[in-house]
Amino acid sequence: MTELESTFFELLDPREPGVAALGEALLHELARQLAEPARDAVSGVIGLADCDVAMRRILYGGGYPRGLAKGAARRLVDHVA
């Protein structure tokens, strides 16, 4: 796990009961997937708004609680910015 992926794992709030129910393995996989649009945003391939959308799609697709996904994506994008 890279430093960015580790940071994203923590920003996913793994101690939140609804998130913890997903399990650490899935949260690590989500963090790995979320690092890709973050790297694209940092390198200028995509803008921050597109990064936010990409991250929410990853979170929704991974089963992250819908009510928490938007806030999680915002925290992740803020970290990238």
- The model's pTM is 0.93
Taking only the tens place, the pLDDT of each residue in 10-51 is: 999 999 999 999 999 999 999 999 999 999 999 999 999 999
- Dihedral of alpha carbons 49, 38, 80, 31, sign: positive
- In sequence order, what DSSP letters do the residues of 33-78 get, joined into one string? HHHHHHHHHHHTSS-HHHHHHHHHHHHHHTT--HHHHHHHHHHHHH
Query: Into how many domains does the chain fold?
Result: 1
Q: Which residues contact 22 (CB under 8 A, 6 or more apart)?
A: 30, 62, 63, 64
Q: For residue 1, what pLDDT band results from cuts at 50, 70 and 90?
A: confident
Structural domain of 28: 3-80
